[in-house]
Amino acid sequence: MGGRTEVPSTNEDDVPQNEQEQMGSENSAEVYEFEHEGNLTFNNPGMRPDVWYIVYDEPGAPGKFQELLFTEVSECIRAQGVSTICDLSLFTPGDRVLVRGNNTENAVVVSELEFVEP
DSSP class of residue 50 equals T
The whole-number pLDDT of residue 29 equals 67
Quick one: average pLDDT of 33-53?
96
Question: For the segment 59-76, what is each residue's pLDDT rounded down to a tens digit?
Answer: 888 889 999 999 999 999
For the chain, the structural domain boundaries read 34-115
Single pTM value for the model: 0.73
Rounded-to-integer distance, Cα 95 and Cα 38, Å: 8
Provide the 10 A C-beta neighbour count for residue 117: 5
Q: Which fold has domain 34-115?
A: OB fold (Dihydrolipoamide Acetyltransferase, E2P) (2.40.50)
The whole-number pLDDT of residue 33 equals 95
The whole-number pLDDT of residue 80 equals 81
Rounded-to-integer distance, Cα 88 and Cα 117, Å: 18
On the CB side of 87, CA atoms within 13 Å amount to 5
Strand partners, 96: 39
Question: For the segment 105-116, what is each residue's pLDDT rounded down to a tens digit?
Answer: 999 999 999 999
Cα 13 to Cα 8, 10, 26: the distances in Å are 11, 6, 21
